[in-house]
């Protein structure tokens, strides 16, 4: 893992922006570095125009280690990233985007788990089973973002997810992985599955 991954995040954010997953200032990306701290996108920054000054380095306890200016604040959803890194020590990247399909499928069930179709693409999320029965956790989109983080912590401490991804209803998808490249792969696989689910409903599957 490179010691300063901001350029990696900038490239990923630009890619997701071009895909329509991080329009305007939506979404947030972070990468953990060897000392246990993590770089996260600053609040209110256009994700298609990030520079190296659009990041804050944080400790897991929420302490700010580095910021380009006192007015540059970490993402409002930093508490969710802190929770993911605390729950999953192997996680080195945590990416959250706002795609149309993620928001649509989050309404396909009233349950707190979204059943995923048994597609071959699930192997890209680490599911190597025949006819897998896989679900993705869904959480309520509270205005109080630390409350979402607490809900994630409370639930995952009891029932770990079967895939390294979660949905916040009407809000988007968050994935985590052992590297930024893998996190990007997870997002692309999940979004492919969501597009399939939306298309399947359209044609009446």
Q: Is 69 annotated as a binding residue?
A: no
Q: Is 98 annotated as a binding residue?
A: yes
Do β-strands 55-58 and 64-66 pair in parallel, antiparallel, or remain unpaired?
antiparallel
The full DSSP string for 131-183 is S--EEEEEE---SSHHHHHHHHHHHHHHS--SSSEEEETTTEEEEEESSHHHH
Contacts of 38 (CB under 8 A, 6+ apart): 30, 31, 32, 57, 58, 60, 81, 85, 94
Task: List the 172-177 sheet strands across, edge first.
Answer: 64-66, 55-58, 38-41, 28-32, 93-97, 172-177, 165-168, 134-139, 113-116
Rounded CA-CA distance 49/68 in Å is 16
Binding residues: 96, 98
Binding residues for Zn(2+): 96, 98
């Amino acid at each position: 893992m490179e010691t300063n991954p901001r350029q990696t995040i900038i490239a990923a954010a630009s890619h997701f922006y071009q895909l329509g997953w991080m329009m305007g200032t939506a979404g947030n990306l972070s990468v953990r570095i060897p000392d246990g701290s993590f770089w996260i996108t600053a609040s209110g920054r256009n994700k298609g125009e990030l520079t190296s000054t659009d990041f804050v380095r944080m400790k897991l306890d929420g302490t700010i280690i580095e910021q380009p200016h006192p007015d540059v604040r970490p993402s409002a959803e930093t508490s969710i990233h802190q929770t993911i890194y605390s729950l999953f020590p192997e996680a080195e990247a945590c990416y959250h985007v706002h795609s149309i399909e993620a928001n649509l499928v989050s309404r396909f069930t009233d349950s707190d788990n979204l059943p995923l179709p048994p597609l071959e693409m699930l192997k890209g999320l680490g599911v190597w089973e025949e006819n897998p029965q896989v679900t993705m956790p869904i959480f309520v989109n509270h205005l109080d973002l630390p409350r979402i983080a607490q809900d994630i912590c409370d639930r995952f401490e009891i029932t770990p997810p079967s895939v390294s991804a979660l949905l916040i209803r009407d809000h988007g998808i968050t994935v985590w992985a052992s590297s930024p490249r893998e996190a990007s792969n997870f997002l692309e696989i999940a979004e492919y599955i969501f597009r399939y689910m939306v298309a399947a409903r359209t044609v009446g599957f």
